[in-house]
Chain A
Amino acid sequence: MEEYSREPCPHRIVDDCGGAFIMGCVGGGLFQGLKGFRNAPQGLGRRVAGSVAAIKTKSPVIGGSFAAWGAVFSIVDCSLVHFRQKEDPWNSIVSGAVTGGILASRNGAAAMAGSAIIGGVLLSMIEGLGIFFTRFAAEQFRNREPHIMPDANEGYGDFNSSGFGFPGAQQATATS
């Protein structure tokens, strides 16, 4: 587990489904644990029992929703990669929009359009943040400006200062 890199495209669907399920299960478990703790009757034992009951009830459902989103997203993303023969942020943005639309398809056309817009905007923000961090990281490796030398033609023809035809100060600059 030194580094984790994403699988190539057919296997990425299964991996993204699993990763999304873990995110939903663990993250949703944390939030539902807090909600169950606050919503329980008084007493530490009762609050802990309420927290455990809420985690048991809600955490798999949230994980399942995240897994469905991740699976459909990766299926659409791999399809776009296959047809366009490209991997760029537009694949992710279109995949987010299509996924939002597909998963709201039983709620009517208006809900589909709204969810598609929400998915597209969400993935646009994610890709925008990714591009911003890539630019910021690339700034660390930028080469520094080249050092501009003074005009070296002034030294030619002047044999009074030094034996090599350069002034003393300029020779010091050249050696440094």
Chain B
Amino acid sequence: MSDNFSRTPYSDGHAATHEEASKPHYTTTTSSFSRTPVSPYLNYDSRYLQQAQPEFIFPEGANKQRGRFELAFSQIGTSVMIGGGIGGLAGVYNGLKVTKALEQKGKVRRTQLLNHIMKQGSGTANTLGTLTVLYSACGVLLQFFRGEDDHINTVIAGSATGLLYKSTAGLRTCAFGGAIGLGISSLYCLYLIAQENSSNSSPKYL
């Protein structure tokens, strides 16, 4: 598209529109631009710049998505807090049941309730946090040694977590723990693959 600015002065917008209407030989590329007049003093057509997509600047050598190490802290914190919440609710239930059965009142009941909440809450939080530490450690090590981050890492990390968690409880229990880890991580990867196929977006490996 060639814009002849000398024949169409900038100040007279109406005449420019009229002349554009009187020239039917313009190609279809004009429909992609806006029809506002362009100053003849510019040495480039600024309408090209508006079609660019937003671009992001990455540091040299950096990945374009977060790795497992960045997400490990969020995962462990989330697990500890969820475990504390679940354990706390179970502690409230157990505390109410025990104090009602023993017919305790007043300060003794309050102390027993607090003891049940804190013991069961911290216990469940510690268990879930430990499991997530094992999972994140296995995932980060696999990413470091394999050099890739994909669903295979997730499945292997889940299985290794189950094996390690029950590693001192006998071979049968150890194998059972590994099977549970394999099952949970496989289900999670299937869920991610289903999401990936439905939305056709890039996968977010955890």
- Which residues of A pack against B, CB within 8 Å? 1-2, 4, 7, 11, 13-19, 21-22, 25-26, 52, 56, 59-61, 63-64, 67-68, 71, 106
> Out of A1, A2, A7, A67, which one reaches B80, CB within 8 Å?
A67
> Out of A2, A4, A17, A63, which one reaches B133, CB within 8 Å?
A63
What per-residue 1/0 map shows which CB atoms of B78-108 lie under 8 Å from chain A?
1111000000000000000000000000000
The answer on a CB contact under 8 Å between A19 and B73 is: yes
For the residues of A in contact with B, the DSSP-based class is helix
Cβ contacts under 8 Å, B114 to chain A: 106
Instruction: Give the nearest-CB partner of A68 in chain B.
Output: B122
The answer on a CB contact under 8 Å between A1 and B168 is: no
B34 close to A (CB within 8 Å): no
Cβ contacts under 8 Å, A2 to chain B: 59, 61-63
The answer on a CB contact under 8 Å between A64 and B81 is: no
Cβ contacts under 8 Å, A25 to chain B: 129-130, 133
Among the stretches B4-12, B18-26, B64-72, the one at the interface with A is: B64-72
The answer on a CB contact under 8 Å between B69 and A64 is: no
The answer on a CB contact under 8 Å between A1 and B73 is: no
B75 close to A (CB within 8 Å): yes
> Out of B63, B70, B133, which one reaches A22, CB within 8 Å?
B133
The answer on a CB contact under 8 Å between B77 and A4 is: no
Known: A21-B80, A21-B133, A64-B126. A15 touches B73 (CB 8 A): yes
